[in-house]
Amino acid sequence: MTLGERLDPSAPLELDGAPLVPASSANTRGTAIDGVGEAEILVWHKPRGVTTTHADPYAAITLPQALTEELGAARAERMLSIGRLDRETEGLLLLTPERSLVSRLAHPRARLRRGYAVATRFSLGEPEFSRLRAGIRLTDGWARALESRAVQPADALPAEIRSGNDDPGQWSYIALGEGRHHEVRRLYGAVGHPVLRLVRLSFGPATLGELLPGALRPLTSDERSEFSRALNAPPQAPA
């Protein structure tokens, strides 16, 4: 083969005996353009007190520091959170080393619900739940719950919560379609019920289940398929 030589597009090409694949169809990082492919995505039960950044002079413990024991320092440093949970919020957080997936899965256009268990001093009633579902104007615009109600057995709260000293009536459930800054805390504050404890139970198809604080697990094949389906879904007009 010489410089400038033209080849039949259908002709197979090899380099040192290995077939060459066009860049458009190559899967160089293990991710698919229209889904999550084989990218590494982990479900982590974030403990309270962890700041989900890589560097913060005011953080008691950063994301890599919290992950080092489980993943090792080098691997922990590569992990990025898909969305964030504030320092005092605990529960499900998705992690990946694939930067291209972070914004795609966290963006509202992916239509991935975030489900939370919320502890307050007093129980919420239907008037408060209705206000949360109807929408409340916050400082950065309107926000509303996709679902807001009392907790149910199907919500699968972690065992530590179910067996704790908190009155079960003080726990409620809310689902949101986005992850704005302190959104749950601000919504509950707007209906007169400051949040005492906040636990994310789900993000899209991924659920916290009985994962202990600080523990990790990979996505299941079904969860992986559902995330890919969400990324492949055509955009919808705003409601």
Amino acid at 78: R
Is 140 an active-site residue? no
First-last CA distance in the chain: 58
Torsion sign (Cα): 189, 212, 148, 146: positive
Give the residue carrying structure tokens 């090792």.
72
Please state, as a whole number, how many other Cβ atoms lie within 10 Å of the Cβ of residue 127.
9
DSSP-assigned beta bridge partners for residue 15:
18
Catalytic residue among 8, 16, 56, 86: 86
What is the DSSP code (8-state) at residue 9? T
Residues sharing a CB contact under 8 Å with residue 76, sequence separation 6 or more, in sequence order = 63, 64, 65, 66, 67, 68, 70
CA atoms of 221 and 60, how far apart (whole Å): 35
DSSP-based three-state secondary structure for 169: helix
**Catalytic residue IDs:** 86
